[in-house]
Amino acid sequence: MRIFALLFGCFVLSLNVLGQVRVAPLDIVERTLDNGMKIVSVRDTTNPSVSVRVWYRVGGKDDPPGRSGFAHMFEHMMFKATKNMPDETFDRLTEDVGGYNNASTWPDYTNYFQVVPSNHLERILWAESDRMVNLNVTEKSFVSERDVVKEEFRQGVLAPPYGRFYWLMDERSFLKHPYRRGVIGNLEELSSATREDAEKFYRTYYRPDNAVLIVVGDFDQKQLDTWVDKYFGPIPKPSEDIPRVSIDEPEWTEERRYNETGPRVPFPAIAIIYRSPKTTSEDIAALRLAGSILSGGASSRLSQSIVRGQQIAQQAWFDMTLNADGGRMGFVAISSEKGSPESLERAWLSVLTKIQSDGVTSRELEKAKNGYLAGAVQMRETNDGKASLIERAITYRGDAGAVNRELDEIQAVTVDDIKRVMNRYFTPKNRVVLVYSQETKSIEGAKK
């Protein structure tokens, strides 16, 4: 017990001084191939493994009109057969040697990543280059993966009590921007998609000048450059321009309210959503920390006031979705037996206005910074964590090197910054209120 207490005390002390410690910057090497593909690498020989990520600048916002969910569906397609590899080859190249692989689709990008022993780096580079240019988009594989994604929609959106509530947050928030379409899509548009649509999507977005290769771990830089030139260098850059989203989200000028219903909703839920700035904004660091102060743990403002104090919510949290073109953020809660959407809204506005008028304490801000910095340091302990941070910097800042400035930006935030951003963005005209409750059936409907 004494040893545990000593270790715990050291951990707490490390958090208290973390904000004063400078984290060594990542030694990033960048280059661009003649075909436009960007290469970002960080050498770390701490352990004999390597993380490989291929980042494509295509996400849910790039889904063609009438084809929502297409970027996500194509993420699934990329694990099917190519001209040189059978289905599921990436599982064999990674899992069979003690590694792993996966992929994910976001509103702004799609990524594919693997972690393997470093002596398997070359074959991963070859495989990634092969599926960039040689994927077989067959009718059989297309229908198979379309059905998988449709089932994901049923299980993730339709089946859970609050699945549709979370899905509606984007649709009800954004007025015109494609962010209003959920990345997972919808059943109707997925069902109408064709193999030809998929082939066109592949040829449009899966090209070297729309990709970034990120390699972090135990490798020789000259050898990496040689392999990259060998496998990715010959891939031609198409002559056609890459389509880009040109729709700007208009300014929110008045509050909007929506009442939605769904089956099997045990308690009402509410989301009070505000538009957040683009990820290049200097306010992002302060908004991140404000979110932590509001809902970062049992001592946070929302927990103390709404969940533990008034006990009108089973859960209450600050939700922040960052997107390159501007996202959404705000208060989300699921009511308890004592609560209601009306009481939850009043409670949120009480918490909000207190911060807007009185600000937050230095202790609250220090705790939020320590939590954020501890998480960032932990991410830097693994090759894939570092690769993920670089990927995020590329996506949201347009610069891999931004990963080395992020922690300084967090540490520079002041209590005045928190008060300023809470007053700037959390205004009535910049607000959407979404209430979600149990659907009711008429007597005639019940008789049927």
Q: What are the residue numbers of the active site?
A: 75
Exposed, middle or buried by CB within 10 Å (0-12, 13-18, 19+), for 256?
middle
Q: Hunting for tokens 């910054």 — which residue is that?
A: 417
Which tokens hold the place of 287?
């908004």
- Find the radius of gyration of the CA atoms of the chain: 24
DSSP 211: E
Residue 423 neighbours by CB under 8 Å, 6+ apart: 356
Interatomic CA distance for residues 107 and 68, integer angstroms: 11
Residue 22 neighbours by CB under 8 Å, 6+ apart: none
Which tokens hold the place of 239?
């002559």
Interatomic CA distance for residues 153 and 263, integer angstroms: 16
- Beta pairing, strands 211-217 & 38-43: parallel
Interatomic CA distance for residues 386 and 384, integer angstroms: 5
Residue 341 neighbours by CB under 8 Å, 6+ apart: 268, 269, 270, 335, 435, 437
Point out which residues pair with 55 in neighbouring strands: 111, 212
Interatomic CA distance for residues 213 and 218, integer angstroms: 16
Residue 138 contacts residue 83 (beta carbons within 8 Å): no
What one-character-per-residue DSSP string does 396-411 give? HHS-GGGGGTHHHHHH
Q: Give the C-alpha distances (Å, rounded to integers) separating 379 from 323, 383, 389, 390, 426.
A: 21, 9, 8, 11, 30
